[in-house]
Chain A
Amino acid sequence: MPRWEHFSHGADIGIRGIGESADEAFEQAALALSAVVADISTIAPKERVEVRCDAPDLELLLVSWLNAIIYEMAVRGMLFGEFHVAVSGHSLTGTLIGETADPERHHAAVEAKGATVTALKVARQQDGQWMAQCVVDV
């Protein structure tokens, strides 16, 4: 089962996505990022935003992907609760689905400033599952 989780970092927060493929792990990591900001169950799927990212390697591609989401959240004033990713080599296309942030309904706790290369890892684990993680500065 694809899943996401948070892990501890002294000042900020670590996000981790796990799935059958790199695509799924990236989607789950994006959900973990959204869950840093707000309760994702409150975010309605009203609008779609398409993004493209590329990087020299798969790990930096995760950072680019998360930073693209942070950027779209910031400039559109939106929250996203659903993601679709297709990784191809060291590039990806992604779809972000969500709605305009509403302070009264979403009670967003904290802005994400940027995804970092701290605790950055994208790898297939021994059980065959893909894992994608890093620390986010908030």
Chain B
Amino acid sequence: MNRQSLTRHSDFEWWIEPTGKMRVPAVIYAGEHLIDEMDEKVREQITNVATLPGIQRAAYAMPDAHWGYGFPIGGVAAFDPKEGGVISAGGVGFDISCGVRALHSALTADEIEPLKEELAEALFESVPAGVGSRGAIRLSELEMDEMLRGGAEWAIGRGYGKPEDLERIEEHGCASGARPECVSHEAKKRQAQEMGTLGSGNHYLEVQRVAEIFDSTSAAAFGLKVNDIVLSIHCGSRGLGHQVGTDYLKTMVIDGYRPIPDRELACAPIWSELGQHYLGAMRAATNCALANRQIITHLVRGAFAQVMPNADLALLYDVSHNTCKIEQHSVDGASRELFVHRKGATRAFGPGHPDLPPGLRDAGQPVLIGGTMGTESYVLVGTGESERLAFSSACHGAGRAMSRTQATKLWHGRQLVDELRAKGVLIRTRSFRGVAEEAPGAYKDVNAVAEAAEHAKLARRVVRLVPVICVKG
């Protein structure tokens, strides 16, 4: 992105002042290097978001922003329904409530080392991953609707996990206001065999080691020490969420709010019938994602129990990064109820936020940043400033630096797996081409993204995690 067309407010904050139909400015949080690398499409898309009705303060792009669908991936925008605010299917994304869940084990890296191969096999056998993988759970129509209303709470009621898990999931594991009747028959059919599956693409299950601590106070609050073993799950709402996104994108393109600068920004007024139906369906898909990650958690605990029965995997946190949530925010000195879209962006509540569970309220919310199978991931913590800067939001991952097509020309999956093994990272996959498409070199430097989030004061780095085992979706 050309820096000269941006107004620099600080080393990590760049503005596009409102022109034409923009109702608010667009603000990009990133260092010089990330700005230089950023796709020009991010500028175009975040500028378009700033034209939507009811948008508050500014349209924001996180340090990992890249070309998305209508909204950039790494985009944040909040809308006030009282000012004609809209909800956008593209602003949430196709994989509704895709997110990261981190489990903290009682094990150290040294304890895992001699049993790594067995553990990798047990995880690969236990959690269905990859294209067309099927879960063992089949739901009747009635049960499907119960799952869509109950989320992780439903899953725990069925024996997949522990009640104490709920405290460490956004909204206590259940998005309220879900309306299964607004989810199409096709979406439910697509989900019929996909409960408890990881999916494919950039989704993964990783055993990780805490390699470095940046903020010892927050690390202590999260219970994390160097060499601790963490397990991270990155996946979303599977076929149901994808179909809800597909169904409503089409309907919003045909019957949604007009005029819009680009068809892919299709949206509907929040209080319109279409807007309300989408919200009900999106919350149902959110519950599908939460139930899915809960079932996978149960499968992971079972796999660990076979190999290392003393793992004691407790939930550190579960946070979604493709969402629209109702939140209270201060605008022009008044507290307002806003619909905050985060497309490829993570909620990052700072210390003292009333929605955080007691165990995390003093420290702030863990912000889980997924990296690549060959590099690293991060746990950050929300800051007090983040609310003012970007409605309490931060980045969600490294963000791709090149397309899948380019990646497969540069890397070979089998060779990558061998190279990573030589570095001590075990990969389990059903597709070497899939590994090549997800090559670590195809992503931006997650270290630079995490550092930029910290310098911009969106969130603060707590620990760096390095992969030990990766089950690739």
* Chain A interfacial positions (CB closer than 8 Å to B): 6-13, 37-38, 55-56, 60, 63-64, 67, 70-71, 74-75, 77, 101, 103, 107-111, 113-118, 120, 135, 137-138
Q: Is B189 an interface residue (CB 8 A)?
A: yes
- CB of A116 within 8 A of CB of B250, answer no
Chain A residues near B35: list those with CB within 8 A.
none
Closest Cβ of chain B to A86, distance in Å, is: 22
The docked-state distance in angstroms from the alpha carbon of A96 to that of B186 is 18
Q: Which B residues are in CB contact (< 8 Å) with A55?
A: 250
A75-B193 Cα distance, complex, nearest whole Å: 8
CB <8 Å contact, A11 and B431: no
Please state if B94 and A108 are interface contacts (CB–CB under 8 Å): no
Asked if B200 and A10 make an inter-chain contact with CB atoms under 8 angstroms apart, the answer reads no
A113 with B253: CB separation less than 8 A: no
Q: For residue B361, which residues in chain A have a CB less than 8 angstroms away from its CB?
A: none
Q: Which residues of B contact A75 (CB under 8 A)?
A: 186, 189-190, 192, 239
Q: Does A11 lie within 8 Å of B400, measured CB to CB?
A: yes
Whether B404 pairs with A13 at a CB distance below 8 angstroms is: yes
**Cα distance, A9 to B42, chains bound together (Å):** 12
Interface core residue of A63, A70, A109, A138 (most chain B CB under 10 Å): A109
Which residues from B are CB-within-8-Å of A56? 254
Please indicate which of the listed interface residues A8, A10, A64, A118 has the most CB atoms of chain B within 10 Å of its own CB.
A10
Partner of B250, one of A8, A9, A63: A63
A-binding segment of B62-70, B283-291, B446-454: B62-70
Say yes or no: B403 contacts A109, CB within 8 Å.
no
Contact of B437 among A38, A101, A110 (CB under 8 A): A110
Checking B130, B399, B403 against A9 with a beta-carbon cut-off of 8 angstroms, the contacting residue is: B403
Q: A60-B254, A67-B246 are in contact. Are A110 and B201 (CB under 8 A)?
A: yes
- Size of the B side of the interface (Cβ < 8 Å), in residues, is 49
Whether the pair B95, A113 counts as a contact (CB closer than 8 A) is: yes
Using Cβ atoms and an 8 Å threshold, which residues of chain B touch A64? 250
In the A-B complex, list the 8 residue pairs whose CB atoms are closest, starting with the nearest.
Answer: A108-B131, A10-B67, A8-B403, A109-B433, A113-B242, A114-B246, A109-B434, A10-B66
Which of A70, A111, A117 is within 8 Å of B263, CB to CB?
A117
Contacts of B162 in A (CB 8 A): none
Which of A60, A70, A116, A120 neighbours the largest number of chain B CB atoms within 10 Å of its CB?
A116
Contacts between the two chains (Cβ within 8 Å), count: 126
Contact among A109, A116, A120 for B431, CB-based, below 8 A: A109
| Known contacts A101-B132, A118-B69; is-contact A60 B200 (Cβ 8 Å) | no
Q: Which residue of A lies closest to B132 (CB)?
A: A101
Q: Beyond A109-B433, A117-B263, is A101–B66 a contact (Cβ under 8 Å)? A: no
A6–B249 touching, CB < 8 Å? no
By a CB distance below 8 angstroms, the chain A residues around B254 are: 56, 60
> Given the complex, which residues of B lie within 8 Å of A71, measured CB to CB?
186, 190, 243
By the criterion CB–CB under 8 Å, are B433 and A135 in contact?
no
A107 partner residues in chain B, CB cutoff 8 A: 430-433
CA distance A114 to B399 in the complex (A): 20
Q: List 15 additional A-B contacts (Cβ < 8 Å) besides A103-B430, A120-B263.
A: A6-B405, A7-B405, A8-B406, A11-B66, A13-B404, A56-B254, A60-B250, A101-B132, A107-B430, A108-B430, A109-B433, A113-B242, A117-B253, A117-B264, A120-B264
Closest to A13 in B: B404
Nearest CB in chain B to that of A100: its residue = B132
**Contact status A118-B264, CB under 8 Å:** yes
Chain B residues near A70: list those with CB within 8 A.
Answer: 242, 246
Q: Please, which residue of chain A has its CB at the minimum distance from the CB of B68?
A: A11
User: Is B130 within 8 A of A103, CB to CB?
Assistant: yes
Give A62 to B266 CA distance when docked, in angstroms. 17
Contact between A103 and B266 (Cβ–Cβ < 8 Å)? no
